[in-house]
Amino acid sequence: MSATSRVVVVGAGTTGLAAARELLARGLDVDLVSLAPPRRSVVASSADAIAAARPDEGPEGIAAHFADSRRPGAGAIEDAALRALLASAPDLILRLDALGVPLSRDETGASVRRRGSGHRRDRLATAGPQTRRAVVEALDRALTVEARSGRSHLRRLEGWEVVAIVVDDRHDCAGVVAQDLRSMEIHAIAAGAVLLASGGFAAAWSTSSAAQGALGTATAAALRAGAVLADVDAVELAPLALVGFAKRHAISDALRTAGARVWAPKDPTDVRRGRDVPSKERRDLLGDIDREAEGLVAPAEAARALMRALYRDGVGVFDDKHGVLEPCAYIDLVHLGGALLPEARAEVTRIASITGIDLLAQPARIAPAVHATLGGLDVRFELGAGGELAVESEIHHSTSIPGLYAAGGAACAYHWVDRLPGQRLLTSLRGGEIAAASIALRCAREAATEAEAEAEAEAEAEAEAEAESEGSMLVALRAAETAARKDYGLLLARRGDDAARPLRDELGAALDTLVGLSVDPPELGQLESDIATIAARASATCDPQDGATSANRGAPAVRRLEAVSLLARAVTASARARQGDNNDGPSCKVLIRLEGDNLIVSREVRNEDEAR
């Protein structure tokens, strides 16, 4: 059977599940390749609500949502895409509700929305800290049911890692090469289209609050295959993340909405415990900007204010044990006296169970953290006649490689700058669905062309050309498979003085200075060469330190380090290109592609009358 009706979806999180379900419903076969089963992809803190205008608000509510979400400097296409995304949000809430996601309701059964920082209306629907889990479970079940209908075929490849994106000699995406992390076998998978729903790479930063696995291996593979990245230096910051643990634990926006205070002792040498500092000796760090905005400022703005205070103005909490001022502040809920909404209470319970800290009894130390990457694979959208987003188009969510699509955290699509609470789930779910619709259109067109070619088979040359194209796809896949097997063999045999863990720590610390999460000011030139050195060591002297023939953990870890250090190089190059920018903002899109081993940077101005 021809591969045109088969789609590889990389990643089984919210984006991948939503996309796979849509693809199956549209009659395409899906290979869902993921590092872990869907339920293991869940990180509670990553998204605990979905933002959408309430149905009773009508179009005006959507306009208001857009006004809150829009950032200056966006181009016409981005605006149209964001508008369409927000317009489809109320419907998404209804559908999630119908799938059994227990989104908040009151006693009468009516849907309840809460306020979130940066939102000027109540529009967050939530199922508490477990919202993302509930969404993943509901979609996973729905996907199984969709597959049972028998219209199309779903194959789940769980515990597989994509190591290469294959492009044939016509520059079309032909499929992927993936490795089973249990048996360590490497196979090529042919596909008419590939969707990267593999998330971002926020775990590259040391000060990250993301899951360990968020390293962008598939994104790096796409970059190597010739795809273009956009704005990879843009990150979403969680303003409040508990420090002093294996990673920074991001705290839900629900606590800030509930009235949490963020403060630091006025005296930077104060050695008292947080709860013993009297209130007049506390410096409120977010109160002023919130009052000025007449509401809670968006998380990104809060994070920037905190970073200015902690890393520039010398505010912090004195660590008596080590005799240094730690760049962190306190989050404080003690004054609320335990009067909390159920959601906020659930978040307090969650934090207590993972860290042992009872936020209602004592203030806890926090600092901003890198929560997610906002840049990623550059994807395109098509505008309709009226300047709105085209209703359906095979261009939506397409990358620079024909047949390769990206959505969710892997793509730079709707939010290349500050993102509001609840927008992340919306972006990933709708992004996945829209990308799936585009892929279905592409596959249908390809199938039609193929059928046409077959019908005209008497024209011998045509048939030959067709056979040739099919052949070129297979040749490319086989070559990529052989190359990947050889690379893996070489990697296993590699010996050197470096190990993946310490190198990753070095890389993470270097990246921290770049986003301002460090007292050291970024010196981009130096940083660029530091990161290039780390990347070179990762791919030359980093020893897997593991020779196991099954369930090998060392070699994949080195491979991920190689991938993430390539992305880190792209991040620095991107930041450097933006540095010379006068308006230093989102109005300029920084694009990056790889030629040989060199990153080629180009800039594109986002303007109001942009048209493609």
Partner 1 sequence: MTKKAAPTKPILCRVTRRDHAKDPPRTETFEVDITPEATLHQLLAAIARNPTPRGGIRVVAPAWDADCLEGSCGGCAIRAGGRAVLACATRIDEVEKRRGAIVLEPLGVFPVVRDLIVDHAVRDRDIDATSIPQPPIVPPRAKTTLTPHNEGGTDAKPDAKAPPTSSIAQWERMALGACIACGACLDACPEVRGDGGFVGAEAIVKNRRAHADPRTSPTDRGALDAALSRPGGISECGHAQNCIEVCPADVPIALALSDAARVATSRFLLGWLKR
Q: How far is the CB of 185 from partner 1 (least distance, A)?
A: 15
- From candidates 550, 579, 583, 602, binder to partner 1 by CB under 8 A: 550
Report H helices in 334-459.
Answer: 342-355, 423-455
The answer to whether 380 contacts partner 1 (rule: CB under 8 A) is: no
- Is 308 a binding residue for partner 1 by CB under 8 A? The answer is no
Asked if residue 76 binds partner 1 (CB under 8 A), the reply is no
The answer to the question of residue 386 lying near partner 1 (CB under 8 A) is: no
Assess 108 for contact with partner 1 (CB under 8 A): yes
Encoded one letter per residue, x for contact with partner 1 by CB under 8 A and - for no contact, window 523-542 reads: --------------------
- Of residues 111 and 472, the one with the C-beta less far from partner 1: 111
Is residue 553 within the footprint of partner 1 (CB under 8 A)?
yes
Integer CA distances (angstroms), 252 to 241, 324, 337, 345, 506, in order: 9, 29, 19, 11, 29
> Out of 57, 66, 97, 492, which residue is the one contacting partner 1 (CB under 8 A)?
97
Nearest by Cα to 22 from 470, 383, 384, 396:
396
Smallest distance, Å, CB 95 to partner 1? Answer: 5
Residue from 353, 490, 497, 609 that binds partner 1 (CB under 8 A)? Answer: 353
Cβ contact 52:123 at 8 Å = yes
Beta strand 411-412 pairing with 6-10:
unpaired
Q: For partner 1, what does the binding mask look like between residues 6 and 25, x meaning CB under 8 A?
A: ----------------x--x
Q: Which is nearer to partner 1, 338 or 547 (CB)?
A: 547
Nearest distance from residue 574's CB to partner 1, in Å? 27
Nearer to partner 1, 35 or 235 (CB): 35
| Secondary structure string (H, E, C) spanning 481-536 | HHHHHHHHHHHHHCCCCECHHHHHHHHHHHHHHHCCCCCCCCCHHHHHHHHHHHHH
The answer for residues whose C-beta is within 8 angstroms of residue 76's C-beta and 6 or more apart is 383, 387, 607, 608, 609, 610, 611
* Sign (positive or negative) of CA dihedral 39, 45, 48, 50: negative
Cβ 577 to partner 1 shortest distance, Å: 31
Q: Which of residues 36-65 bind partner 1 (CB under 8 A)?
A: 36-37, 39-45, 55, 58-59, 62
Options 11, 73, 128, 408; binder of partner 1; rule CB under 8 A: 128
Characterize the bridge pairing of strands 249-250 and 235-242: antiparallel
Pick from 3, 32, 51, 85 the residue near partner 1 by CB under 8 A: 85
Give helix 58-69 / helix 89-98 axis angle, nearest 10°.
110
Residues 470-529 binding partner 1 (CB under 8 A) are: 499, 501-502
Q: What is the contact mask toward partner 1 in residues 435 to 474, using x (rule: CB under 8 A)? A: -xx-------------------------------------
Whose tokens are 């498979």? That residue is: 481
Residue selected from 70, 120, 247, 345 as contacting partner 1 according to rule CB under 8 A = 247
Window contacting partner 1 (CB under 8 A); options: 193-201, 349-357, 462-470, 578-586: 349-357
325, β-bridge pairs: 318
Taking CB under 8 A as the binding criterion, the range among 166-174, 242-250, 253-261, 478-486 that sits at the site for partner 1 is 242-250
What span, in angstroms and rounded, lies between the C-alpha atoms of 494 and 555?
9
**Contact 138/96 with Cβ under 8 angstroms?**
yes
Range in contact with partner 1 (rule: CB under 8 A) among 171-179, 351-359, 519-527, 562-570:
351-359
> CB under 8 Å to 178, separation ≥6 — which residues?
33, 157, 160, 161, 162, 163, 186, 187, 189
SS3 category, 458: coil
Does position 237 bind partner 1 by CB under 8 A?
no
Using the minimum distance from each CB to partner 1, give the nearer residue, 134 or 570.
Answer: 134
Task: Determine if 212 is a binding residue for partner 1 (CB under 8 A).
Answer: yes
Residue 52: is it exposed, middle or buried by C-beta count within 10 angstroms (0-12/13-18/19+)?
buried
Contacts of 272 (CB under 8 A, 6+ apart): 265
Tell me the residue type at 87. A
* Residue 336 CB contacts under 8 Å (≥ 6 apart), including other chains: 258, 259, 260, 360
Minimum CB separation from partner 1 for residue 156, in Å? 10
- Kindly tell me which of 301 and 394 has the beta carbon lying closer to partner 1: 394
In the complex, the smallest distance separating the C-beta of residue 391 from partner 1, rounded to whole angstroms, is: 5
Subset of 130-189 contacting partner 1 (CB under 8 A): 130, 133-134, 137, 141-142, 144-146, 158, 182
Binder to partner 1 among 27, 94, 122, 155 (CB under 8 A)? 94
Three-class SS state of 70: coil
Closest CA to 371 of 476, 247, 255: 247
